[in-house]
């Protein structure tokens, strides 16, 4: 646990990266971005953490079990939004059924935010799962190999 | 119908420079046998394509390419490289005249086909007239969100995006099944060797 500068920088950078991911997530219908990009940026914050503090520390902060559940939740959240609009009397993923009285398509807005949330959760947890499983297999690198 | 010509503006020169760099990076990737260098070059390739997408005004695609292509896939490929060798096995170069002829003919046919393509940036090109124009005109009335790309992705083509999410989920599921994390209910993770102890 040397590399003081790296540790401090990672701690400073971690929160803004998460905040940026949330901005990209919820600002996707106004500017560039959306669930896919936000999920990846969210995962990158934890990958940076794993690079600096080691994978075991990251796994304590965000265990694999939580990621496995989040993967399923993300997909089901998206599909569930579609089912909810069906139960409200619209088509599958026909978001206007969420708020049929609105004059400016507020239902579309709600629907897009809901499905993008599902996308973000699924992408972030899948990326981290793949990262955990690939990097978790080899304990450390022999410097001679580089 | 009037003929459309793209002027040689500074933007087009930037595009040409980026495409030239993309080509050289691709050739360097093909020639290198050092896997670490190849992964880094693929990250550079993604970043260059992201810059190219920005100059084509496709900021959403550029954002995705920069985050996924240059960012996460580089990290994941480095993680994959750690599990295998650092160098590709040397390949003895051979002569394959049939393959060369097939590649040459296909390439010539593709270049011949580009002659019939509409000019770069032509507003009357088929891609800009039918569906694309309909989305641009209808999004403020149908969806009322400022970003048309999000409107197409999440609302008009919401079903496609559900499929994409399932693809991402399936990729994660495949990695979990192959490399093994143990079950959520407390099963044992898979080990490389049966006699290995934690």
- Domain boundary residue among B68, B89, B110? B89
B175 touches chain A (CB under 8 A): yes
Q: Would you call B150 and A40 a contact, using CB atoms and an 8 Å cutoff?
A: no
Q: What is the number of domains present in chain B?
A: 2
Segment 85-124 of chain A within 8 Å of chain B by CB: 92-93, 95, 104-105, 108-109, 111-112, 115-116, 118-119, 122-123
Q: Are A24 and A113 in contact (CB under 8 A)?
A: no
pLDDT digits (tens, 9 = 90+) for A24-56: 999 988 888 888 999 999 999 999 999 888 888
- The whole-angstrom separation of Cα A135 and Cα B42 is 19
Asked if residue A130 lies in contact with residue B170, where contact means CB atoms within 8 angstroms, the answer is no
C-beta atoms surrounding A129 within 10 Å: 23
Distance in Å, alpha carbon of A60 to nearest chain B alpha carbon: 15
Spatial distance between the Cα atoms of A11 and A9, rounded to a whole number of angstroms: 5
Q: Which residues of chain A have pLDDT under 70?
A: 1-2, 138-146
Q: Among B6, B7, B45, which residue's Cα sits nearest to residue B26?
A: B45
The answer to whether the predicted template modeling score (pTM) of the entire model surpasses 0.95 is: no
The answer to whether residue B130 is domain-embedded is no
| Residue B179 domain boundaries | 146-192
DSSP assignment string, B51-111: HHHHHTT-HHHHHHIIIIIIIIHHHHHHHHHHTS-SBPPP------HHHHHHHHHHHHHHH
Task: Compute how many other C-beta atoms are within 10 angstroms of the C-beta atom of residue A69.
Answer: 13
Domain that holds residue A32: 4-145
Decide if B129 is inside a domain.
no
B19 touches chain A (CB under 8 A): no
Tokens 């009397």 found at: A89
CA distance B104 to B96: 12
| Domain total of chain A | 1
| pLDDT (0 to 100) of residue B129 | 81
pLDDT on residue B11: 84
Strand partners, B34: B87
Interface of B with A in 23-52 (CB under 8 A): 36
Which one of A28, A74, A93 has the shortest CB-CB distance to B165? A74
Write out the two tokens for B97. 């005249």
End position of a domain, from candidates B89, B118, B134: B89
pLDDT of residue B169: 95
ipTM: 0.88
Dist. CA A47–CA A59, nearest whole Å = 11
Closest to B23 (Cα-Cα) out of B52, B61, B59 = B52
Of B75, B171, B184, the CB nearest to A131: B75
Residue B169 lies in a domain: yes
B-chain CB neighbours of A83 within 8 Å are none
Q: Give how far B80 is from chain A: nearest CA, Å.
A: 6
CB atoms within 10 A of CB B119: 11
In a domain, B95, yes or no: no
Nearest to B68 among A30, A40, A75 (CB): A40
Rounded distance, CA A103 to CA B190, Å? 55
Cβ-Cβ contacts under 8 Å, A123 against chain B = 165, 168
Mind listing the pLDDT tens digit of every residue in chain B (198 residues)? 456 776 778 888 899 999 999 999 999 999 998 999 999 999 999 999 999 999 888 899 999 999 999 989 999 998 888 888 788 887 787 888 999 999 999 999 999 998 888 887 777 888 778 888 888 888 888 888 888 888 888 888 899 999 999 999 999 999 988 887 665 565 565 555 555 554
């Amino acid at each position: 646990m040397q590399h003081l500068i790296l540790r401090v920088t990672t701690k400073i950078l971690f929160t803004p990266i998460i905040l940026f991911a949330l901005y990209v997530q919820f600002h996707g219908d106004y500017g560039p971005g959306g669930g896919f990009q936000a999920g990846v940026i969210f995962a990158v914050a934890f990958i940076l953490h794993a690079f600096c503090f080691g994978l075991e520390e990251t796994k304590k902060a965000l265990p694999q079990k939580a990621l496995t559940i989040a993967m399923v939740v993300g997909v089901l959240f998206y599909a569930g939004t579609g089912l909810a609009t069906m139960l409200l009397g619209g088509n599958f993923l026909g978001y206007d059924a969420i708020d049929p009285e609105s004059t400016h398509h507020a239902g579309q807005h709600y629907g897009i935010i809901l499905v993008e949330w599902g996308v973000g959760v699924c992408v972030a947890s899948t990326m981290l799962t793949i990262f955990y499983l690939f990097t978790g297999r080899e304990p450390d690198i022999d410097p001679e190999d580089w | 119908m009037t003929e459309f010509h793209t002027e040689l503006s500074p933007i087009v020169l930037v595009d040409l420079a980026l495409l030239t760099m993309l080509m050289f990076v691709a050739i360097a990737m093909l020639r290198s046998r050092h896997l670490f260098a190849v992964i880094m070059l693929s990250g550079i390739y993604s970043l260059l394509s992201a810059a190219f997408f920005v100059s084509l005004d496709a900021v959403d695609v550029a954002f995705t390419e920069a985050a996924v292509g240059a960012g996460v896939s580089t990290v994941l490929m480095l993680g994959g490289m750690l599990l295998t060798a650092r160098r590709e096995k040397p390949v003895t170069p051979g002569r394959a005249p049939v393959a060369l002829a097939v590649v040459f003919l296909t390439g010539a046919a593709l270049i011949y086909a580009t002659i019939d393509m509409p000019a770069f940036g032509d507003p009357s090109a088929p891609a800009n007239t039918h569906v694309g124009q309909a989305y641009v005109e209808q999004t403020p009335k149908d969806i009322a969100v400022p970003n048309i790309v999000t409107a197409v992705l999440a609302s008009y083509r919401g079903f496609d995006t559900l499929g994409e999410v399932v693809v991402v989920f399936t990729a994660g599921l495949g990695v979990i099944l192959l490399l093994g994390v143990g079950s959520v209910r407390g099963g044992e993770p898979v080990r490389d060797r049966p006699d290995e102890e934690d």
